A and B are shown apart, each in its own frame.
Chain A
Amino acid sequence: MKNPYLPYPVRIEKTVIETEDRNIKSFKLVFLNDDDCKTFDYTPGQFAQLSVTGKGEIPIGIASSPTEGDHLLFTVNKMGVVTTALHNLIEGSIMGVRGPLGNSYPFDKMKGKDVTIIGGGYAFTTLRATIVYMLDKKNRADFGKITLIYGARTPGMLLYKDTLAEWSKRDDINYNVTVDRDAPGWTGRVGFVPAVTEQVAPSSKNAIAVICGPPVMIKYTLPVMIKLGFTPEQTITSLENRMKCGIGICGRCNVGPEYVCKDGPVFSMAQLKEMPQEY
C-alpha cells in the first residue's frame, strides 16, 4: 500500500528571487521518477508538503498549473526553519514533495461563469495557478469574463513579473495590478485592493470571486464584495493553518469540524460563516 507520508524525490531545476526584499523565492521542481510525476495529478488551489531532509516539511500552495507541463512551481516566503533551509538550497539540489493535498478551487462551479480573482501580497501563488489554468487554450472557453485584481506593497514586491507582463497584453483578461503607493517608473494603478475592487466593480451576476491575501485585505474587501452583490456562496477563499500530516489525520489544522488540509484549504464564505474563526 502507498505510504501517504513518503515524499517524492524532486530536483530543483530553477530558482527565481521574486521580490526586492529577497524574501520570496520560486522553485521550479522536476520529479526524479516518471511514475511519481504521473501520480501527482493536481488542480489549482491544492498544496503540497515540501521537505528538506533534516529540517522538516512545510505546506505550500502549488503555483504552477497542470497545463504548464510536468514541472511544479512553488513560491516560498522565508519565515521559519524549513523555509529558510529551502531558500538556502541551490539549483540541482534534491528535495521532497508530498501531495497533491487538499481540495482545489471549485472549477466545476466556476465553469460557465465570470471569475474574479483578487489577491494580495505573497498569497498570490495558487491564484497564479488558477489564472494560468483558466487562460489555457483548452480551458479558456469554459469561463466567462476573467477579472484580475492583484495588489502588492510596491512594484518590487509583485510576484511573477514576467507572467504579469504577458497577461497585461492579453485581451481575454481584465488586468488590474495595483501597488499601495506610487513608485518611480510605475505606470499602473495605485491604491489598496479593496478600493481598486470598488473601482473595477466586477459584476456578481453569474460570477464567482476568489479572494486570497493577508487578513486585513480580506477584511476590507469582503464588504466591497457584498456591495457588489456577491453572496457568501459566490465568494471563495483559501485558509492557512499550522499543519503537519496534510492528509486529515494529525489533528493540527482543524477549524471546527473541518480540517484545513483535507476538507480545505478552499472554503466559501458561506462555509466559513458556520465555522469558528480559529485560523
Chain B
Amino acid sequence: MPIRTEKIRKVAKKLLNDHRVDVVIGYKKGTIPLKNIPYFAKNAEEADKLVWDGNCRGNLASYLSRFNDKRVAIIAQGCVSRNIVGLIQEKQINSDNLYIIGVPCTGMLDSRKLIAAVPGEITEVTENDLYVIAKGRGFEVTMNRGDVLSRNCDRCTVRNPVLFDELAAEKVNEQKDPVRYEKIKAVEAMSPEERAAFVDELLSPCIRCYACRDACPLCYCPECFVDKSSPQWCGKSQDSTDVLSYHLIRAFHTAGRCTECGACEDACPMGIKVRLISGKVEKEIRENFDGYEAWKDLKTQPPLTVFKRDDPQPFVKE
C-alpha cells in the first residue's frame, strides 16, 4: 500500500477510535479509473477505505463549512491547507474543531491528458512518484508523471501543507520559479478583437452547470449572484454575454483568494480551461501586490481585504 494511504488510514483510525473527531474527510477509490470520491469516514472501518493517489483532485475544503457543528479531521495537501487558512480567515469554519492531516503532495494527474495520450479506453492506472502507467484493451502506456500532471499542479510551489496537525509523509521538495502564465501572456498580447474571440471560443462549450463554482472552496455564498432574481444580475440563458458575465464576475470574486488548486477546471464536464480567466486575476494580484500568493499563513490577509496608507492605488485616497 502506498505510504501516504497507509499513514492516512492509521491517523484517521486513531482519531476516530479516540473520539477526537466525528468524521474524517478524505477520498475513497472511485468506481472508474482516474476518479476518486470524496469520502466521509465516521468510524475505523470506514477509515480503512481512505486512499491517497494522483486522483484526489477537487478541493476537500469545500465540504468543511457543512460540518461546523462537528469535530472534523480533513486530509489536506498544500492547496487545500491554504483554502483552510482562507476559510478560517474569512470566518467560515471553526478551527477549534478541526484536525488537519497534512499530505506533502506530488501533484494530481490530469485525466484528460491521460485519456488523450492513449489509444483506447483506460481500464486501469498505476502510479508512483515518477511514472504513471495506463492500461486498456490492447495497450499499456507508461508516462512520466511530470508530463501528465494537472496544469495547476505542474507549476505548484506549495506542495507541502502550510497548516497541519500531523503529516502523512515526509515533506517534498518545493518547485522553484516554475514557468507561469504562458497562455495568459499570449492572450494579453492579442488585440482586443482577438482577445474577445479567444474568450468566446474558450467559453463556447459552457453549459452553465456551475460545477466550477460548486467545486470551489471560495464559492460559499448562500445565494450566488447568478441565482439572484431580485435584482437579476445575470441572464439565465445560453446567451454568450450572460455566460461570459458569469465567468468574469466569478473570477473577480476569487481575486487575491485563489490558491490555484484547480478544482474548478477539474470539475468542468466540458473540459473548459476556466483557470485561464481566474488565472489572469491571480496574475494581476501577484504582479501588483509584491508577488502575493493567497493564504500561505494565518496572519497575512489578502491584499484586497486590507487597507494600507501606502497602497499604490491613488483612487482609494481621492
Contacts and interface: CB of A to CB of B under 8 A. Distances in A.
Taking the complex as a whole, does A directly touch B, i.e. does some CB pair lie under 8 Å apart? yes
A80 interface: yes
**Interface footprint category on A:** under 10
B229 interface: yes
A183 B201 CA distance: 66
Grouping DSSP codes into helix (H, G, I), strand (E, B) and loop, the B interface class, with mixed when no group exceeds half, is: loop
Interface in B214-263: 229-230, 232
Contacts of B230: 80-81
Interface in A65-104: 80-81
Nearest to B229: A81
Interface residues of B, number: 3
A57 to B, nearest CB: 13
A170 B230 CA distance: 45
A81 to B, nearest CB: 5
A81 B231 CA distance: 9
A81 B229 CA distance: 7
Contacts of A80: 229-230
B237 to A, nearest CB: 13
A80 B229 CA distance: 9
A225 to B, nearest CB: 37
A81 B232 CA distance: 10
B223 to A, nearest CB: 14
A164 to B, nearest CB: 33
Nearest to A84: B230
Nearest to B230: A81
A80 B232 CA distance: 12
A80 B230 CA distance: 8
A81 B230 CA distance: 7
Nearest to A56: B229
Contacts of B229: 80-81
B231 to A, nearest CB: 9
Contacts of B232: 81
Interface in B188-232: 229-230, 232
Interface in A81-138: 81
A159 to B, nearest CB: 25
A260 to B, nearest CB: 20
Interface in B175-199: none
B154 to A, nearest CB: 42
Interface string A32-64: 000000000000000000000000000000000
Interface of A: 80-81
5 contacts: A80-B229, A80-B230, A81-B229, A81-B230, A81-B232
Interface of B: 229-230, 232
* Pairs A-B, 5 closest by C-beta atoms: A81-B230, A81-B229, A80-B230, A80-B229, A81-B232
